[in-house]
């Protein structure tokens, strides 16, 4: 039975989510502030964390950042009443693996939790720890990235996006495929999330290097390839 940590300061909502998760056959431990949630997360081997953004004592963003720094393979679902693009980007940059805007249906939360649990279970079974392409080197265990031996600091979502591109180098990746494979969530792919993160990566991966590796194929998507010749914007 997967063990879920729920960090939510709204007592009524916390009880509703706890009941729904237990009916879905999850074990649930609850906390009502960020500091307590952090202590519990570090003391217990949870399978997944569900946390609100607005929490007493320590915000959900701070909580998520600290958890991901110490337990990068612990999936986190972030809950919030804030639903703008900037709010979602802030949540993903803090390390969240999925994002739900209140109000939401419990069955959708359960479905997303199951997807994340399956994904992270498969990742722990993988035996490849180093990805390389044209001077880029990614260490999956240490969560580090470098290009031509120069360290590059990435946010968790930037790291996951680059990982997917490294795994599929020299192949055009559509926005919908990136949304499905990197985020594994159901946010509106009509937004500019993907383009925002591609631009973030370009600034860190390509800006200070003569050879550009991240390219846009107009009307189709993006590709990681040396000296891509056509359809670049």
Mean pLDDT of 173-189: 76
Q: Where are the domains of the chain?
A: 3-125, 130-224
Tokens of 49: 């964390």
Q: Are strands 3-7 and 27-31 parallel, antiparallel or unpaired?
A: parallel
The whole-number pLDDT of residue 226 equals: 86
Cα 46 to Cα 100: distance, rounded to the nearest angstrom: 20
pLDDT category at 173 given cuts 50, 70, 90 is very high
Residue matched to tokens 């997967």: 2
Cα 156 to Cα 91: distance, rounded to the nearest angstrom: 11
Strand partners, 17: none
CATH architecture type of domain 130-224: Orthogonal Bundle (1.10)
pLDDT category at 85 given cuts 50, 70, 90 is low
CA 180 to chain CA centroid, Å, is: 12
pLDDT category at 87 given cuts 50, 70, 90 is low
pLDDT category at 230 given cuts 50, 70, 90 is very low
Cα 167 to Cα 15: distance, rounded to the nearest angstrom: 41
The pTM score is 0.59
At 53-74, the pLDDT tens digits run 989 999 889 998 898 888 888 8
At 138-153, the pLDDT tens digits run 998 888 999 999 999 9
Cα 165 to Cα 137: distance, rounded to the nearest angstrom: 12
Give kind and range of the element (H or E) at residue 139: strand 136-139
Give kind and range of the element (H or E) at residue 7: strand 3-7
Looking at per-residue pLDDT, the higher value among 18 and 100 belongs to 18
3-125 CATH choice from 3.30.70.270, 3.40.140.10, 3.40.50.2300, 3.30.70.3270: 3.40.50.2300
């Amino acid at each position: 039975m997967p063990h879920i940590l729920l960090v939510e300061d709204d007592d009524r909502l916390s009880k509703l989510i706890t009941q729904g998760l237990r009916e879905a056959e999850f074990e649930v431990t609850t906390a009502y502030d960020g500091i307590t949630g952090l202590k519990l997360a570090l003391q217990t081997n949870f399978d997944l964390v569900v946390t609100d953004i607005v929490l007493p004592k320590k915000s959900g963003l701070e909580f998520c950042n600290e958890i991901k720094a110490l337990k990068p393979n612990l999936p986190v679902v972030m809950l919030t009443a804030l639903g703008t693009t900037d709010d979602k980007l802030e949540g993903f940059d803090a390390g969240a693996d999925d994002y739900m805007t209140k109000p939401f249906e419990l069955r959708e939360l359960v479905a997303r939790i199951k997807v994340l649990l399956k994904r992270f279970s498969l990742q722990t079974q993988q035996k490849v720890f180093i990805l390389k392409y044209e001077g880029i080197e990614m260490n999956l265990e240490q969560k580090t990235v470098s290009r031509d031996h120069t360290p590059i600091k990435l946010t968790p979502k930037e790291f996951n996006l680059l990982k997917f591109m490294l795994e599929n180098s020299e192949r055009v990746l559509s926005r919908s495929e990136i949304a499905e494979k990197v985020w594994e969530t159901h946010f509106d792919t009509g937004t500019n999330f993907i383009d925002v993160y591609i631009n973030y990566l370009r600034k860190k991966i390509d800006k200070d290097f003569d050879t550009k590796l991240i390219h846009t194929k107009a009307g189709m998507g993006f590709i990681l390839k040396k000296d891509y010749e056509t359809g670049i914007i």
